[in-house]
Amino acid sequence: MEKLFLSEFPELSRETLRFIKKGFDTSYRAFSREYGDTIEAVFDPVLYFLVWFEKLLQNSPWPLVLICFLAIIYFGSRKISVTIGSLFAFLLIGIFGMWEDTMSTVSIIGVCTLLSIGIGIPVGVLMAKSERAQRICTPILDVMQTMPSFVYLIPVVMLLGIGKIPGLLAVVIYAIPPIIRLTNLGIREVDSEVLEAADAFGANPRQKLFQIQLPLALPTIFAGINQTIMMALAMVVIASMIGVKGLGQPVLKAITNQYFAMGLFNGLAIVALAIIFDRVSQSFGHRIQQHRSGARE
């Protein structure tokens, strides 16, 4: 029987749809066969650095690593409470046998954050300086933030296979938008009167950027870095699905095998890392705004 036009949405025939999808997949496969190696080679230095960093954290004596961490935490937050809290968290993590996985996670989060800062801040600056860049970047960032991460894992895995680099890419794609957006926002929010004063004294665009816009945007940029770190941590489990080592893998194993305790311990370790990263980066962010509050230290 003929279907009513209005009750059924007029869709492409199954044949056509299959043809389109197949064509798309085939050409992408051809592309990845052609260029996969080249693209992989591009990421080699990053991979090299990531592996070196992970090995450094895992193979150094744990007390040394712990002391380094605590020193960084103390100088970042200048808070004894945060430092002591972190000490207990790391001790518990170690006692419960998650030290090695935690080091892997810290290393990949660290590298992802550095990459995000290295790429995100320049892109944010570009967006702040050019309306056109902002018009182009905003929808791309929207897609990056809303596209389910599994969807872009597919082409990344097709292109680069399973391993650290595709995981890294997935994390960076997911985590980079906040730092770009907040760099852009922070620079655009800089008081126009202050910029006019800089113009009146003959500052060139570079001097304005480095002496006025970036320093004044820094608190906002730091909020972005904080967000980026949090989002990178949130991606740890998903990244473990494509072979990234760390706290995500035991969680994944726990899900598939219904090991509740194992999932809980590793999940809590991720939470502990998140809280430490958050407190340290937030209080560091507050401290660089000292001109807004009390006297100088």
Partner 1 sequence: MSEIKIQIKNLYKIFGKSPKSALEKVKDGVNKDELLEKHNHVLGLKDINLDIKEKSIQVVMGLSGSGKSTLIRHINRLIEPTDGSVVVDDENVLKMNDENLRNFRRTKTAMVFQRFALLPHKTVLENTMFGLHIQNIDEKEANTKARRWIDRVGLSGYEEKYPQHLSGGMQQRVGLARALTNDGEILLMDEAFSALDPLIRKDMQDILLELQDELHKTVVFITHDLDEALKIGDRIAILKDGIMDQEGIPADILLSPKTQYVRDFVEDVNRARVIKAKHIMSELNGQDRDNAMFVDQDDFIDRFIDKVISDKPNCLIVKNKNNDEIGYLSTKRLSEILKR
Question: Does residue number 204 form part of the binding site for partner 1 (CB under 8 A)?
Answer: yes
Question: Does residue number 206 form part of the binding site for partner 1 (CB under 8 A)?
Answer: no
Question: Does residue number 196 form part of the binding site for partner 1 (CB under 8 A)?
Answer: yes
Closest to 271 measured CA to CA, from 293, 251, 287? 251
The binder of partner 1 chosen from 33, 207, 255, 257 (CB under 8 A): 207
- Helix ranges (H only) for the chain are 14-42, 44-59, 62-77, 80-95, 99-129, 131-146, 149-160, 164-188, 192-200, 205-208, 214-234, 236-240, 248-257, 260-287
Select 167 or 285, whichever has its Cβ closest to partner 1. Answer: 285
The binder of partner 1 chosen from 119, 203, 234, 262 (CB under 8 A): 203
Question: Does residue number 26 form part of the binding site for partner 1 (CB under 8 A)?
Answer: no
CA distance 275 to 78: 16
The binder of partner 1 chosen from 80, 139, 295, 297 (CB under 8 A): 295
Name the one residue in this structure whose structure tokens are 């320049």.
122
> In this structure, what token pair is assigned to residue 98?
């998650």
The site map against partner 1 for 274-293 (x = CB under 8 A) is -----------------xx-
**Coil, strand or helix at 204:** coil
Which residues from 126-185 bind partner 1, rule CB under 8 A?
none
Select 85 or 215, whichever has its Cβ closest to partner 1. Answer: 215
The binder of partner 1 chosen from 201, 258, 260, 297 (CB under 8 A): 201
CA distances from 45 to 50, 52, 111, 174 (A): 8, 10, 12, 21
Sequence letter at residue 84: I
The site that binds partner 1 (CB under 8 A) totals a number of residues, namely 21
Kindly report the length of the chain: 297
State the residues that interact with partner 1 by CB under 8 A: 191, 193-194, 196-204, 207, 211-212, 215-216, 291-292, 295-296
